[in-house]
Amino acid sequence: MKRLTEKSSKEELDTAWGLVNDYGEAASKAHEVQRAFKKGAKVVYRRVNTPEKLQALYIIIQNKRQVMYMPILIVEGSEGRSFVARESTGQKEEFLTILHSHAVNRYIERHGWDGDIIDAENHILDNMWVSARNVDKYTKELTVYFDDGMFLGAEKDGICHLNTYIANKQMYSNQRLLSRRLQDNIEELFKKL
């Protein structure tokens, strides 16, 4: 496969993500993962290359009955690693979301992250996939509430691009109102669970 970036086509990213997904079971059964669970780990973040030489991150969780994993394709971004995941709206609709490297760096800067970039990437990717989001049906602007702020982006060519991050204290009043509404939505969802 050719080198993939955050600007690659939907078809290229969809195909690559499928290959990453197909390798997930093998990655989650690796000796290192099993050893981490035996030592008491609740979540294992495994970064590997697939047989097709695609970079992948698997967030692996084990409960009493099964091992579950979330496959994420790692691609080249403008400022480092960008991450591609396939998401579902709960109906039959699925779409690709790209968390751009610039957004990860802005999160670290604006949130005051006190750790290294790998820890920040793991934190964001582990916690953002159950999210409250808003897509403007006319402009296709995208906002995703996360950790006292929002990722901002746009839907383009069937891909949701999360381009940057702003903290609540940096928002204009209309942005803060939207952020608050999205925050309330996600809190309500967790109360129901």
Q: Which tokens sit at 28?
A: 């989650």
What pLDDT, in 10s, does the model give residues 48-82?
999 999 999 999 998 888 889 999 999 999 999 99
Above 90 in pLDDT, residue 6? Answer: yes
Given this model, what pLDDT does residue 190 score? Answer: 59
- Please spell the DSSP secondary structure of 137-150, one letter per residue: TTT-EEEEE-SSEE
- Please spell the DSSP secondary structure of 80-143, one letter per residue: EEEEEEEEE-SSS-EEEEEE-HHHHHHHHHHHT--S-HHHHHHHHHHHSSS--EEE-TTT-EEE
Between 4-8, 23-27, 130-134, 164-168, the lowest mean confidence (pLDDT) is in 130-134
What pLDDT, in 10s, does the model give residues 120-166?
999 999 988 666 778 888 999 999 888 888 999 999 988 999 999 99
* Per-residue pLDDT band at 1 (split at 50, 70, 90): low
What pLDDT, in 10s, does the model give residues 97-112?
999 999 999 999 998 8
